[in-house]
């Protein structure tokens, strides 16, 4: 069963099992990771180095891991195209426009560099969900595909920002998947650590905000070069998540 996000073209990021009132915390976690296998008890969760000040543990299999692995393959292919463009080879129009954003941001430092990428990519892509654009419930597109069509949903914006930030020389970049407990929808955004604080680059805002200031969200997953990790949530946060499904 897929829960789609309607606002600003963002769709569901992974399939979840329906939850009914009274289900256990374990059932909620099952729904969050869609039969994902996380670290065993013998494995130590990561230190608190990810956004939201929460520890995480690896997701070893599941739909979100499959989607992220596919996105990473697309990112590698796009980076090869961008390298050819830099070397004077054949360069598609979408790649030229994407590189122009990277180059503009590369001329700045710190928050200005991050803000340029957030704003430029938000304005370059028109929101459209995957069902309308591709005829499928969920598809994670690499940046050049998104820039070719000019349309995307929340994870497409986030992936494009992730690639652009890294190409512009920003080191600590991740994607986060959250549950908006007010809107009752799943959402994705890029995030960057600057001066010890994680900043959120949301397709719904041209303003950068700290992770602690992102309203009404429950952190679910963090994604980067090291794969997918699940945030370890307290029972209180899990109760909030359960309530958001009804």
Residues making up the chain, counted from first to last: 246
Residue 78: which residues within 8 A CB-CB, separation 6 or more? 95, 142, 143, 144, 163
- Whole-number pLDDT of residue 49: 86
pLDDT value at residue 243: 60
d(CA 198, CA 212): 8
The pLDDT averaged over each successive group of 10 residues in the chain (246 residues) is 38 42 39 44 61 95 95 98 96 98 96 98 97 96 98 98 98 96 92 97 97 94 97 75 58
Per-residue pLDDT, 62: 93
Q: Where are the alpha helices (DSSP H) in 87-142?
A: 93-106, 110-124, 130-134
Q: Which helix (H) or strand (E) holds 85?
A: helix 63-86
Residue 139: HSE in the Cβ half-sphere, 13 Å Cα cutoff: 18
* Sign of the alpha-carbon torsion through 172, 231, 163, 113: negative
Q: What's the rounded Cα separation, in Å, for the pair 111 and 97?
A: 22
Domains, the chain, ranges and CATH?
Answer: 7-244 (3.10.620.30)
Q: What pLDDT score was predicted for residue 18?
A: 33
Please report the pLDDT score of residue 235 as a whole number: 72
Q: What is the pTM of this model?
A: 0.84
């Amino acid at each position: 069963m897929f829960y789609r996000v309607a606002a600003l073209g963002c769709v569901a990021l992974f399939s979840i099992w329906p939850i009914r009132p009274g289900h256990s915390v374990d059932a909620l976690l099952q729904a969050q990771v869609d039969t994902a296998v996380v670290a065993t008890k013998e494995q130590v969760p990561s230190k608190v180095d990810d956004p939201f000040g929460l520890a995480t543990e690896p997701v070893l299999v599941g739909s979100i891991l499959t989607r992220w692995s596919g996105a990473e393959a697309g990112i590698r292919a796009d980076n090869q195209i961008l390298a050819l463009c830099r070397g004077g080879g054949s360069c598609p129009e979408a790649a030229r426009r994407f590189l122009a954003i990277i180059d503009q941001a590369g001329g700045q430092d710190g928050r200005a560099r991050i803000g340029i990428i957030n704003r430029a990519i938000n304005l370059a892509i028109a929101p459209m969900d995957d069902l309308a654009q591709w005829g499928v419930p969920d598809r994670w597109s690499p940046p050049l595909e998104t820039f070719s069509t000019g349309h995307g949903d929340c994870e497409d914006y986030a992936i494009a920002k992730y690639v652009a930030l890294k190409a512009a020389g920003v080191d600590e970049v991740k994607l986060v998947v959250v549950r908006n407990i007010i809107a009752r929808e799943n959402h994705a955004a890029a995030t960057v650590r600057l001066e010890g604080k994680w900043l959120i680059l949301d397709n719904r805002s041209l303003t950068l905000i700290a992770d602690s200031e992102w309203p009404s969200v429950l952190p679910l997953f963090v994604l980067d070069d090291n794969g997918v990790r699940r945030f370890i949530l307290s029972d209180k946060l899990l109760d909030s998540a359960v309530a958001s499904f009804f």
